[in-house]
């Protein structure tokens, strides 16, 4: 019995047929982003944070977002970070006032979905302790 010939089919990340594997590898995938709502808590202080991230990577690469409230000089523009077993959020002040210019938030995953760690200003990441809670897979209200 002869083996039946099998036709090779090449499909890129968008689901479109391609002529060859080289065409598939050369196709650039569409950028994908999602939003999550986080809340950093340090005693009575609470920062409401929206992050924009790439859901295809893990840990999730944070590409933007906003620290909306709870911090001097809000809003703050989230510039980069990661969200997974570890948390890191880098942001710069957009608001007014005599506040620091940057913040770094770092943490380690704990349960229920939250990160325990520290944050600091203008290059420091260890000035204050915090717990950052995961609130939702959408923008904060």
Same domain, 50 and 98: yes
Residue 83 has a pLDDT of 97
Number of folded domains in the chain? 2
Alpha helices by DSSP H, listed for the chain, are 21-26
Task: Extract the residue ranges of the chain whose pLDDT is less than 70.
Answer: 1-8, 10-15, 20-31
38 and 19 within one domain: no
Long-range contacts of range 101-110, CB-CB < 8 Å, 24 or more positions apart? 103/67, 103/71, 103/76, 105/40, 105/81, 105/130, 105/132, 107/131, 107/132, 109/84, 109/85
Q: Is residue 114 part of a domain?
A: yes
Asked whether the whole model's pTM tops 0.75, one would answer: yes
Domain that holds residue 49: 34-136
* pLDDT at residue 48 in the model: 97
Do 68 and 113 belong together in one domain?
A: yes
Cα–chain center distance at 123? 20
pLDDT of residue 10: 66
25 and 39 together in one domain: no
Q: What is the pLDDT of residues 31-40, one digit of tens each?
A: 689 999 999 9
């Amino acid at each position: 019995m002869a083996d039946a010939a099998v036709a090779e089919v090449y499909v890129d990340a968008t689901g479109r047929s391609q002529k060859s594997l080289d065409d598939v590898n050369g196709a650039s995938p569409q950028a994908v982003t999602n939003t999550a709502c986080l809340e950093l808590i340090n005693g009575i202080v609470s920062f409401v944070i929206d992050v924009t991230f790439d859901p295809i990577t893990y840990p999730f690469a944070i590409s933007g977002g906003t620290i909306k409230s709870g911090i001097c000089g809000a809003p703050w523009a989230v510039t980069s970070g990661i969200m997974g077993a570890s948390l890191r959020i880098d942001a710069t002040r957009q608001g007014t006032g005599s506040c620091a210019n940057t913040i770094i938030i770092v943490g380690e995953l704990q349960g229920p979905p939250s990160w325990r760690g520290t944050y600091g200003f203008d290059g420091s990441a260890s000035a204050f302790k915090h717990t950052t809670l995961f609130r939702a897979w959408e923008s904060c209200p």
